[in-house]
Amino acid sequence: MNSLILQTAVRYLLPLLLLFSVFVFGRGHNEPGGGFVGGLIAAAAYALYAIAYDTRAARQILPIEPRLLIGFGLLLALCSGMLGVANDRPFMTGQWYAFALPGWGKIELGAPLFFDAGVYLVVLGVSLTIIFALAEE
C-alpha cells in the first residue's frame, strides 16, 4: 500500500505501540495485561508497519528473526520454571530474588516475571511468523 498518510503515521505509531506493549507487559502481574497481551500489541505494531510499507521493510526493522524469538521465549520460560528446581522446590514454583542497585534502591525480580517475558517473546515470534508468511503470499 502506498499511502503517504499511513506511512507517516506508522513512523510515529510504531515506537508508541512498542512502548505501550512494554507497559502492558510490566503491569501484567497486578492488573490486566502481561506477556500474552503485550506480545500481541507488539506484533500488531509490526503488522501495521508491514501494511504501510511492505513485509521486507518490516523484517528489516525487526532486530531478530521471529523464529528465534520463539526459541528464546521457550528457553526463558523453561529456565524460569527450573529456578524452583534449582532451589529444591517443585517445577514452576515462584522464586524471588532481591538485590540493591545504586540509585534505584531494592529491586525484586521473580521467576513469574521471566516466565511472562518468555510468553511475550513466544507470542511475538509466533504472531510475526504467521503475519509475515501470510503477507508474503
- Counting other chains too, the contacts that 54-59 makes at CB distance below 8 Å and 24 or more residues apart are 54/135, 55/132, 55/135, 55/136, 58/132, 59/132
Chain segment 80-100, per-residue pLDDT in tens: 988 888 888 888 888 888 888
pLDDT exceeding 70 applies to what percent of the chain? 98
Residue 37 has pLDDT above 70, yes or no: yes
DSSP string covering 71-109, please? Answer: HHHHHHHHHHHHHHHHTTS-TT---EEEEEETTTEEEEE
What is the model's pLDDT at position 30?
A: 66
Instruction: Please give the Cα distance from 120 to 136 (Å, whole number).
Output: 24
4, 9, 11, 122: which is closest to 57 by C-alpha? 11
* Greatest mean pLDDT among 3-7, 31-35, 124-128: 124-128
Cα angle value 36/135/40 (rounded, 5°): 10
